[in-house]
Amino acid sequence: MKLALRDISVRFGGFKAVDGISLAIEPGTLVGIIGPNGAGKSTLFSMVTGFLPHGEGVVSLGEADISRDTPFGRARRGMVRTFQVPREFAHLTVRENLMAAAPGQSGENLIDLFFRPGKVRNEEDAIRREVEETIDFLKLRAVADVSAGRLSGGQKKLLELGRVLMTKPKLILLDEPFAGVNPVLIEELSGHIRALNQRGIGFVIIEHDLSALSRLVSVLHVMDQGKLLASGAPAEVLARKDVREAYLGGAA
Amino acid sequence: MAFWIELLISGLVAGLVIGLSALSITLVFGIARFPNAATGDTMTVGAYGALLGHRATNSLLVGGLTGAIAGAIVGFLGYWFIFRKLAQRSNVALLVASIGLAFVLRAILGVSFGHSQQVFQLPLVRPWRIGDVPVHPNDLVLAGACATILAIVFAILHLTPIGRRMRAVADDPALARVSGISPSSVMTVLWLLAGAVSASAGIVAGIKTVVSPEMGWDLLLPAFAAAIVGGIGSPVGAVVAGLLIGVVQEMATPLVGFTYKIALSFLLMLVVLLVRPRGLFGKLEGAR
Amino acid sequence: MEAYLIAILIVTAIYVLLSLGLTLQYGLTGLINFGHVGFFCIGAYAAAILSTAGSMPIAVGLVAGMLLAGLAAIPIGLVALRLRDDYFAIVTLGFSETVRLVITSEGWLTKGVQGIPGIPKLIDGVGTGPALMILALVGFANILAVIAFLRIVKSPFGRMIEAIRDNEDAVKALGKDPARFKIQVLVLGAVLAGLSGGFYAHYIGYVSPDQFLPIVTFYVWMAIIMGGVGRISGALVGTLLLMGFLEGSRFLRDLLPFISAVEMASIRIGAVGLALILFTIYRPQGLMGDYTRRK
């Protein structure tokens, strides 16, 4: 499912946080977006996923123009995002967080809840099985029954990824997945991302950790002051002088 | 045709009442940042205050002053004893407390004055006739009085230092505090003003119709509606929207019937909240 | 004496059901519903009209009241749910006043200000037997409501409600619309209020528009604030306190005959107002801060 952005701009008062960005992300690819702080990367994510209703430009997913879609509408189409600061459901356990993420639950519908308890029970069982697999995949077995609010930063990031996976996405937008995470976990996360990409899931990743990112992605886009500065294979892009100046000269 | 113009005129007078009470609401919302449900019952206080003043001196002017002062005092006391203590709390807390205040005011008035409707004993004046249309001189006096009150309020807001401070607080209370402006003198003037303005609305309503303990609360919804339609936080918007709603309500009466008048303002409010939440002149973050 | 006690218990049970509806709405979604009496009114009038002019069996009127009240909650939810909380409160207040306005105007259906008399009792007959059966019926409805409440809390629905409370944006990012959940809770709370209204109509035997003034909504708010907001036990305890207050004021009038009925009504309003003010100022937790969590 191709994600196409055409002339995306986001204005905050007089200031253009994102300025006329156009790019396309082919289905099933691993793409990175880098840039100095304040370049507009997270704003772009928020706009594309529908969390900023006041942007300009066209966002299309596959054949569909989703520029007017609600954030949950876009997620239902298979494009889901994580947040820079993890947004776990703090009062639910890890297991419950994952179960809550599964789509299409009739138990979330009062009519089905009261009048089709058998159906609800069956669905819960099926979801629970899938959740157990996800817990194992992410190696969160030890904390499965712990309240998500009490997890470490790295564990919360894993949980966010797990939740996103429960929605059976086709394209995952990761916002700084490696930030504040120890190197071992970074390798683990990268491994998960590669494995999932093998299964056909596309990724767009915002990151500051250039080395981890360039080992992972096949295409790198560089943003600076809201504009797209460069795009291409990681090695080439990182070798460019203007990229080095913008990125490393800025408040990286 | 004369019939419609008559309705237009009575709509404008009703609109003045709604506009003034909406002005009070929008001032409080803009500066103290919550919807003040005690506005209606402050109107009633004003009406009864004016009634007493008028009965004592037979002068409508004195009555108007006593009513306005009563309203100002109530506004200030509400701030001093209740809203000041809730300054750090959520807007819902303030809203609930204002409902409590509204009930307390209504209870006091009900016990003091009884539930029967009372009227201002004014000499009967024959309406003038402009063409086919009857124009009541009282309406003109009331309109004039309202215009004067509005002029005073806008003068205070735009021509005095305290008014400037009030507008600064409305734009950003944190900023205003930081630049050394003490919030509580702003608050004091705000509540005195808001109380006097609602009281004036109540006095006009009382003169045009009757005075009873429930009258203010009954006018609260149209007042809220006007404040929202006009754009919450915009004094001009409140008055314009008030006039608009007053006229729409009166002119639609032959079509929808007398009781549904008030439902119209509610409907208008819903439409605005759906379509253009910041209202006609609003600039605040709006409804969400 | 017995008859009086049973009567009090029946009215209490009716109000507990009404409070449970509001508790559900506030406790689960934190919505500030200032128009609860509107749903109560719809239920009462539906039962009244269908059992008198419509000559339908009582059960039909009760069910119709529940359905109509629930349906009325849907447009409110769709329009007002995404507004900020104080705007939502104002809109719901407007809703209940509009309901009262409609009831007052459409006299051909509702007999307007005069009201509808002669509503049949829930269970026919005089004496303690039928009265106890009525109490059992209303009590049973309450038990069902509590069971429903608990079932919801421990279900996938309840899980999502908790998730929404923790992080609404994350819920949206997973493809779910928080409003969908809030509306369902709003509707269910309205259904309970509608049923309560139906019971009320059949118990009092007479309905008129001024039995459904906003003060009733705030009686219920006061009850759940006093009892402990957002908790089932709070609805029960608070309603008992409310009944004590309402009955107590009636006794007070018997002791002090120089206070007229209207004056007592004013005093009651003043007492509710004072309670609202004092609770808001001195009870910092509960109502306007964090509404209850299931743990």
Least confident of B71-80, C102-111, C277-286: C277-286
Neighbours of A27 (CB within 10 A): 13
Per CB-CB distance under 8 Å, the chain B contacts of C275 are 100
Residue ranges covered by each domain of chain A: 3-88+168-249, 90-150
- The 3-state DSSP class for residue C207 equals strand
According to the model, what pLDDT value does residue A199 have?
Answer: 92
CB contact under 8 A, B273 and C270: no
Q: Does C36 contact chain A (CB < 8 Å)?
A: no
How many domains does the structure of chain B reveal? 1
With an 8 Å CB cutoff and a minimum of 3 pairs, decide whether chains B and A touch: no
Higher pLDDT, B173 or B262: B262
Query: Does A51 sit within 8 Å of C157, measured CB to CB?
Result: no
Report helix, strand or coil for B118.
strand
**Distance from C-alpha of B156 to C-alpha of C69, rounded to nearest angstrom:** 48
- Choose the mutation target among A108, A150, A151 for the interface with C, i.e. most C CBs under 10 Å: A108
Answer yes or no: is pLDDT of C24 > 90.
yes
How do the pLDDT tens digits run along chain A, 252 residues long?
A: 899 999 888 888 778 888 889 999 999 999 999 888 878 898 999 999 999 878 889 999 988 999 989 999 999 999 999 998 999 999 999 999 999 999 999 999 999 999 999 999 999 999 999 999 999 998 899 999 999 999 998 899 999 999 999 999 999 999 999 888 888 888 988 999 999 999 999 999 999 888 888 889 999 999 888 888 889 998 888 888 888 887 665 444
Side chain identity at residue B66, one-letter code: T
* Domain-embedded: residue B231: no
Chains B, C: CB contacts within 8 A come to: 131
Kindly give, in sequence order, each residue whose CB lies less than 8 Å from that of residue B68, ignoring residues fewer than 6 positions away.
Answer: B46, B49, B50, B196, B199, B200, B203
Query: What's the CATH fold of domain A3-88+168-249?
Result: Rossmann fold (3.40.50)
Distance of CA C161 to the CA centre of its chain: 22
For residue B134, report the phi and psi dihedrals to the nearest 5 degrees: -75, 130
Q: Using CA of residue C89, residue C93, residue C99, residue C102, what is the dihedral sign? A: negative
**Predicted complex ipTM:** 0.90
* CA distance readout (Å), B140 to A131, B135, B137, B200, C106: 75, 8, 5, 15, 36
Does residue B91 register a pLDDT over 90? Answer: no
Give the neighbours of chain C: at least 3 Cβ pairs within 8 Å.
A, B
The phi, psi pair for B136, rounded to 5°, reads -85, 125
Boundaries of domain holding B158? 9-114+133-212
Question: Is there a contact between C86 and B34 if contact means CB atoms under 8 Å apart?
Answer: yes
pLDDT for residue B50 is more than 60: yes
Find which of C28, C159, C161, C181 to mutate to test the A interface (most A CBs within 10 Å of its CB). Answer: C159
What confidence category does residue B173 fall into, taking pLDDT thresholds of 50, 70 and 90? Answer: low
Kindly state the tokens that stand for C6. Answer: 């049973």
C-chain CB neighbours of B273 within 8 Å are: 79-80, 83, 87, 91
Q: Output the CA angle A74-A75-A80, nearest 5 degrees.
A: 120
pLDDT of B176 over the 80 cut: no
Between CA B104 and CA B108, with CA B107 as vertex, the angle to 5 degrees is 90
Which of C203, C192, C190 has the alpha carbon at shortest distance from C96? C190
The reply to whether residue B269 touches residue C94, judged by beta carbons under 8 angstroms, is yes
Q: Is B263 in Cβ contact with C101 (below 8 Å)? A: yes
| Strand A227-232 relative to strand A202-206, pairing | unpaired
Lowest-confidence pick of A161-165, B85-89, C12-16: B85-89
- Confidence band of B188 (pLDDT split at 50, 70, 90): very high
Residues in C touching B110 (Cβ below 8 Å): 262-263, 265-266, 269
Closest-CA distance, C215 to chain B, in angstroms, reads 9
Q: In the structure encoding, which two tokens stand for residue A87, read together?
A: 């947004």
**Is residue B129 within a helix (H) or strand (E), and if so which, with residue range?**
strand B128-130
Residue C136 Cα, gap to closest chain A Cα (Å): 23
* CB neighbour list of residue B280: distance below 8 Å, 6 or more residues apart: B229, B230, B231, B234, B237, B240, B241
- pLDDT at residue C295, rounded to an integer: 41
Q: Does A219 touch chain C (CB under 8 A)?
A: no
Question: Distance (Å) from the C-alpha of residue A194 to the closest C-alpha of chain C?
Answer: 22
CB contacts of A90 in chain C (<8 Å) are 166-167
- On whether any CB of chain C is under 8 Å from the CB of B269, the answer is yes
| C280: chain B residues, CB-CB within 8 Å | 86, 89, 93, 96-97, 100
- What does the mean pLDDT of chain B come to? 88
Q: What is the DSSP string of chain A?
A: --EEEEEEEEEETTEEEEEEEEEEE-TT-EEEEE-STTSSHHHHHHHHTTS-TTEEEEEEETTEE-TT--HHHHHHTTEEE--SS----TTSBHHHHHHHH-SS-GGGSHHHHHH-HHHHHHHHHHHHHHHHHHHHHHT-GGGTTSBGGGS-HHHHHHHHHHHHHHT--SEEEEESTTTT--HHHHHHHHHHHHHHHHTT-EEEEE-S-HHHHHHH-SEEEEEETTEEEEEE-HHHHHH-HHHHHHHHHS--
Residue type, B172: D
Report how far Cα A104 is from the mean position of its chain's Cα atoms: 20
pLDDT one-digit tens code per residue, C136-176: 999 999 999 999 999 999 999 999 999 999 999 999 999 99
CA gap B58, B36 in Å, rounded: 33
For residue C270, the chain B residue with the least C-alpha distance is: B104
Q: What is the mean pLDDT of chain C?
A: 90
What amino acid occupies position A199? R
Structure tokens at B54: 């008028």
* B102, part of any domain: yes
SS3 call for B128: strand
Residue B37 within any structural domain of the chain: yes
Given a contact cutoff of 8 angstroms between Cβ atoms, the answer to whether A179 and A84 are in contact is yes
pLDDT tens-digit map of B124-161: 788 888 777 778 888 888 888 999 999 999 999 999 99
Q: Which residues of B touch C101 (CB under 8 A)?
A: 259-260, 262-263
Question: Which pLDDT belongs to residue C290?
Answer: 47
Q: How close is the nearest chain A Cα to the Cα of C160, in Å?
A: 6
Examine the pLDDT at B287 and tell me if it is beyond 80.
Answer: no
Is pLDDT larger for residue C129 or for residue C45?
C45
pTM here is 0.90
Cβ distance of A108 and C175 shorter than 8 Å: no
Is the minimum CB–CB distance between A179 and chain C shorter than 8 Å? no
Distance of residue B104 Cα from the nearest chain C Cα, in angstroms: 4
Q: Has residue C288 got a pLDDT over 60? A: no
Residues belonging to chain C: 295
Q: How confident is the model at residue C124 (pLDDT cuts 50, 70, 90)?
A: confident
Supply the pLDDT for residue B170: 85
Neighbours of chain B (3+ CB pairs under 8 A): C
Residue B85 placed within a domain: yes
Query: How far is the CA of B229 from the CAs of A196, B157, B223, B245, in angstroms?
Result: 52, 21, 10, 9
Q: Could B85 and C98 be called an inter-chain contact, meaning their C-beta atoms sit closer than 8 Å?
A: no
When scoring B26, B105, B212, B259 by the number of chain C Cβ atoms within 10 A, the one with the most, hence best to mutate, is B259
Of B89, B104, B224, the CB nearest to C273: B104
Residues within 8 A of A (CB atoms), C 144-173 only: 148, 151-152, 155-157, 159-160, 162-163, 165-167, 169-173
Q: Which residues of C touch B111 (CB under 8 A)?
A: 263, 266-267, 270
Least CA distance to B91: which residue of chain C? C86
Q: Is B213 on the interface with C (CB under 8 A)?
A: yes
**CB contact C175 to A (< 8 Å):** yes
Residue B236 lies in a domain: no
| A108 contact C CB<8A | yes
What is the distance between the alpha carbons of residues A37 and A252, in angstroms, rounded to a whole number?
Answer: 6
Give the model confidence (pLDDT) of A47-99 as tens digits. Answer: 999 998 788 899 999 889 999 899 999 999 999 999 989 999 999 999 999 99
Supply the pLDDT for residue C285. 59
On chain A, the residues whose CB falls within 8 A of the CB of C162 are 89, 91-92
